[in-house]
Structure 1
């Protein structure tokens, strides 16, 4: 076959359709059918925006607990309404009681608060100067104050007490055989003194009950032991009941009869002696004791077996 033969590829090389197309040049048209675009000068390079790591979630201010210079997230406690408790947490105090008992406690506290307010008000009216309220309701104030809550200023008076006063009592006891025996004198003030001596917290009864009862009696009776006014009989009953209770506490009936018995009557007396002056004083006083004996008092049947219980 001739090299110039039309069917030969020896001169023209392989068919163009069988060769790969050359790479397209910038700005050159790739297809004759497409419209050629004008060349555009290159602009500034576009910023390189690359996706970075996602930001960590920021804890709220209430969830951050500062420890030194570091902060760590802490769980936020839920705000429960007042009076409610989280499930499973035990209740304490009054809240642990049922509704019925809570109402009872509230009523008891209200009664105590009212009683305290009334007592403070009565005491104020008692020690305050005479006014419209005390003139209209002075008897009610006195009934509340006397004899247990009487107020006085003897400790700071110009002439304070300078005497030792002890209260003594004896009783007439009827034994099982019907005979009446008289006990010896019981020094009740000395008993209270022994109970107070060395006691860091002596009771109000040991300190004031007997002394105030005697002061109440003396203030409402004359020198002949006759009552003055309506409060005289009240002071006698008050002092007599204390005597019967104290004799029963000392077991005076068994000491007198050796067995059981009943207190039929009591007699009270006071022993008064002046406090001796100090050694550097030139004052001279008598230290001989003086006695004031009261008449025998019959003990009512409801008090005969140890007083009112």
Structure 2
């Protein structure tokens, strides 16, 4: 009987490597399929509009936005001419029903501090907040009401970034956040000064948004 038990154990040992190989092969095939689908969807997103991209536009947009959005401003002939300062404040309702509103917290200053004097700055610190705001403006314009599914997604994306960052630095509980974006013009110099009009300073205050996961 002991011999039979040992034979069964030996058989399981011999089968284990086969099971591992099969599992690893399945994982490799899955990763390859996802990578291929990712490349195809990004290609359809950046390629000129065609029959396929129009037909599968909802699927393509759902995959690309907001994490894989493509942007070609690196090659733009007219670069950014303004500086934007993005600030956030929070509101917390206490057990007695009173609401406490925090002071403004400068999210842009945190990103700037993380980039300065860094030979290899984080892509997150450089672009995540800035691109989230650009996506919000592109989908909302001057109206802070989300009229499309993409606009709602970009609003949620922006609010989540702001909420997570202020929570990481303050540690205080809150249920609502409000963003304020101050746009400051960059003075042109040289011959371009006469060609480019100065953009007026903009101080845009967004509505209060309810966020989850930051109350205690």
Separation (CA, whole Å) in 2 of partners of 1:293 and 1:169: 10
Residues 175 and 215, structure 2, Cα contact 8 Å, conserved in 1: no
Distance of aligned partners of 1:270 and 1:128 in 2 relative to their CA distance in 1, 3 Å threshold: same
1:291 corresponds to which residue? 203
Deviation sequence 1:155-178 (CA, Å, 0-9, x none):
323432211122111111235665
How far residue 294 of structure 1 moved from its aligned partner, in angstroms, is 0.4
How far residue 285 of structure 1 moved from its aligned partner, in angstroms, is 5.3
Taking the TM superposition and a 5 Å limit, the aligned residue runs for 1:39-188 are 98-175=17-94, 178-188=97-107
Distance of aligned partners of 1:264 and 1:205 in 2 relative to their CA distance in 1, 3 Å threshold: same
1:274 aligns with 2:178: no
Residues 266 and 297, structure 1, Cα contact 8 Å, conserved in 2: yes
Separation (CA, whole Å) in 2 of partners of 1:211 and 1:277: 22
How far residue 108 of structure 1 moved from its aligned partner, in angstroms, is 2.3
Question: Which SS does the other structure have where 1:270 is aligned?
Answer: strand
Taking the TM superposition and a 5 Å limit, the aligned residue runs for 1:213-228 are 213-228=132-147
- For normalisation by structure 1, the TM-score amounts to 0.58
For the pair shown, which has the larger CA radius of gyration, 1 or 2? 1
Residues 91 and 102, structure 2, Cα contact 8 Å, conserved in 1: yes
Q: Point out the structure with the larger helix share.
A: 2
Unaligned runs of 5+ in 1: 1-96, 254-261
2:214 corresponds to which residue? 304
- For normalisation by structure 2, the TM-score amounts to 0.81
Deviation sequence 1:246-275 (CA, Å, 0-9, x none):
11101251xxxxxxxx31211011111122
Q: 1:232 aligns with which of 127, 136, 151?
A: 151
1:37 corresponds to which residue? none
Distance of aligned partners of 1:130 and 1:288 in 2 relative to their CA distance in 1, 3 Å threshold: closer
Runs of at least 4 residues off by over 6 Å: none
Q: 2:176 aligns with which of 247, 261, 265?
A: 265
Question: Which SS does the other structure have where 1:190 is aligned?
Answer: helix
Unaligned runs of 5+ in 2: 1-15
Distance of aligned partners of 1:171 and 1:111 in 2 relative to their CA distance in 1, 3 Å threshold: same
Deviation sequence 1:4-42 (CA, Å, 0-9, x none):
xxxxxxxxxxxxxxxxxxxxxxxxxxxxxxxxxxxxxxx
Give the count of matched residue pairs. Answer: 200
Separation (CA, whole Å) in 1 of partners of 2:31 and 2:79: 36
Separation (CA, whole Å) in 1 of partners of 2:60 and 2:204: 31
